[in-house]
Amino acid sequence: MTVHIGAAEGQIAETVLMPGDPYRAKWAAETFLDGAELVNEVRGMLGFTGTWKGNRVTIQGSGMGMPSLSIYANELISTYGAQTLIRIGSCGGMQAHVGIRDVIIAMTATTITSPSSSFFKEINYAPCADYGLLAAAVKAAEAKGTTTHVGGIYSSDVFYAERADLDEQMVRHGILGVEMEAAELYTLAARHGRRALAVLTVSDHLQTGEALPSEDRERTFGDMVEIALEAAFS
């Protein structure tokens, strides 16, 4: 076990899905995994391991923001040997053609700063997804008929941002949506030679002010989880 993950050796699968919300991890495990067992509850950050179509999968909450995700991803990789890490979560849409309930598959993740920023000194490192996972996720989304967008996202280090000028430039440069974790996940995966991807559901929109009604979230988030699982084992 580690400081933040109480799982014993062998309880974490090589494939890990990482929602920010630990209760979303619980819901996803109970909904999509067979034989899901609780393997972590340290600090209330729930993690479960079970099987999906005979493949072992762990679904571990990551918390909110890159510092929190960095802790869990580092421990999953260095101590438990995770090989494939896929963020599943919500994001805010930034482009007019991106709608509520759409899925964004993040090719790249722009950020101002992350826990890994100091590694690069003056270099502006460009974190990107594993291409094999990305291509498999696109194929899975197309097979499901899910409205999907593939491209760059912005990983913000603040939730209550007050930088309208920054949002304007993100939109101007084609950024599809904003969330808070993927850039650090992609950077850590690159550093350790692992596979990473972010599959995101658009739950609200920065331009229109629309928001996904709570009663629709479970159904829509289910598409995202299935796409991530299909991609992991294609």
Q: What is the pLDDT along the chain (234 residues), one digit of tens a residue?
A: 899 999 999 999 999 999 999 999 999 999 999 999 999 999 999 999 999 999 999 999 999 999 999 999 999 999 999 999 999 999 999 999 999 999 999 999 999 999 999 999 999 999 999 999 999 999 999 999 999 999 999 999 998 988 889 999 999 999 999 999 999 999 999 999 999 999 999 999 998 899 988 777 766 799 999 999 999 999
Active site residue 216: no
Report the CATH number of the 15-232 domain.
Answer: 3.40.50.1580
Q: Where are the domains of the chain?
A: 15-232
List 21, 167, 204, 223, catalytic entry: 204
CB 153 within 8 A of CB 108: yes
For the entire predicted model, the pTM comes to 0.96
In terms of Cβ atoms closer than 10 Å to its own Cβ (0-12, 13-18, 19+), residue 20 is: buried
24 is annotated as contributing to ligand binding: yes
162 is annotated as contributing to ligand binding: no
- H helix runs in 33-116, sequence order: 66-78
Cα–Cα distance measured from residue 128 to residue 190, given in angstroms and rounded to the nearest whole number: 8
User: Dihedrals φ, ψ of 215, to 5°?
Assistant: -70, -15
43 is annotated as contributing to ligand binding: yes
3-class secondary-structure state, position 48: strand
Cα–Cα distance measured from residue 106 to residue 14, given in angstroms and rounded to the nearest whole number: 21
203 is annotated as contributing to ligand binding: yes
